[in-house]
């Protein structure tokens, strides 16, 4: 696993969309692997943080690989502001835009992304706030671990249906193997 992928400059998504999307997918897989490793070591909040980063990278990959379809739909709907937003920052799947992105991707046929994004935002809250009963969606460590495992599995399932290159396939197999140890 090339550890420098997550640390390197990404190409401009408008110039090299396929490369950008592939790098974000690889980043998602690397973060997912780290989430599993953190969970195995008992660091649930760190695991949650990595899982959320993985989700954002996966969503960005999906946006860029479906960018033209999203923009075409927005043009038909007359949503010029949405088009500008996707060109300016939406392609990177910012946290504040994840729900809208999930809806747009579901409109293209990706099922369950709104529900998963809602759950991932809960994981994000847990990563930052721990078991604070006034803020966290979880009130026990056990509940957080159950949710983490379910969401990791869901993300594995989503990645599994994508066409992957050899490096991505190898990393996904490694992830599945480590997940089975949880």
Which pTM value belongs to this model?
0.94
* pLDDT per residue as tens digits for the range 79-119: 999 999 999 999 999 999 999 999 999 999 999 999 999 99
* pLDDT per residue as tens digits for the range 115-155: 999 999 999 999 999 999 899 999 999 999 999 999 999 99
Cβ-in-10-Å burial (0-12, 13-18, 19+) of 145 comes to middle
- pLDDT at residue 2 greater than cutoff 70: no
| Angstrom distance (rounded) from CA 175 to CA 36 | 8
Nearest to 40 by CA among 136, 170, 180, 157: 180
| Angstrom distance (rounded) from CA 158 to CA 175 | 13
- pLDDT at residue 34 greater than cutoff 90: yes
Supply the DSSP symbol for 7.
G
């Amino acid at each position: 696993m090339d550890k420098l992928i997550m640390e390197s400059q990404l190409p401009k998504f408008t110039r090299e969309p396929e490369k950008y999307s592939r790098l974000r997918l690889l980043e998602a897989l690397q973060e997912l692997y780290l989430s599993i490793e953190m969970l195995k070591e008992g660091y649930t909040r760190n695991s949650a943080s990595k899982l959320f980063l993985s989700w954002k990278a996966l969503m960005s990959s999906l946006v860029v690989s479906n960018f033209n379809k999203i923009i075409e739909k927005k043009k038909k709907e007359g949503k010029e502001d949405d088009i500008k937003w996707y060109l300016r920052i939406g392609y990177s799947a910012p946290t504040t835009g994840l729900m809208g992105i999930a809806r747009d991707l579901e409109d293209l046929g990706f099922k369950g992304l709104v529900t998963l994004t809602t759950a991932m935002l809960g994981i994000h809250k847990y990563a930052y706030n721990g078991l604070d009963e006034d803020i966290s969606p979880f009130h026990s460590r056990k509940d957080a671990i159950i949710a983490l495992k379910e969401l990791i599995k869901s993300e594995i399932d989503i990645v599994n249906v994508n066409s992957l290159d050899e490096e991505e396939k190898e990393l996904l197999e490694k992830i599945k193997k480590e997940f089975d140890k949880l």
